Amino acid sequence: MATCSHDNAKLAEPRNYEENTAIAGLAPNSNLWIGVNDMIAEGQFVYESTSEPISYSNWADGEPNDNGGTEDCVFIYANTNGKWNDGDFYSEFFSVCEKEPICNDGYDHDHDQTMQYL
């Protein structure tokens, strides 16, 4: 799985329906890695950047299922309107990265939780 750290970013972590829909809409015909996993404790999904339990999910029917005992990472299924599946670390999918907006205009901006998708 590719990471976003080379761009000082992180895998996108959808925290509500609107964010998840926006992420899925970036490449609706592709599987997309997001920043959610259960690597620390099986079945306890957390945000990758903070290790906090997820506050939103959009699992496909029958998921997560940890098929083969190796599915610890989460991706958005292609062509499912944003449904999630757990997958193994070695699957080659696109990654969706996010990072805080960068403002170089000399003003002190209040950076709320606005997300910039790359």
d(C-alpha 23, C-alpha 64), whole Å: 19
On the question of pLDDT at 107 being above 90, the answer is: no
d(C-alpha 63, C-alpha 85), whole Å: 6
What does the pLDDT average to over 27-36? 96
Of the pLDDT bands very low, low, confident and very high (cuts 50, 70, 90), residue 8 is: confident
- Structural domains of the chain, ranges and CATH numbers in brackets: 5-100 (3.10.100.10)
Q: Which of 25, 27, 19 is nearest to 35 (CA)?
A: 19
pLDDT digit string (tens) for 16-28? 999 999 999 999 9
What is the pLDDT, as a whole number, of residue 7? Answer: 80
What is the pLDDT, as a whole number, of residue 3? Answer: 73
What does the pLDDT average to over 38-52? 96
Region at 15 (left for phi over 0; alpha for psi -120 to 50; beta for the rest):
alpha
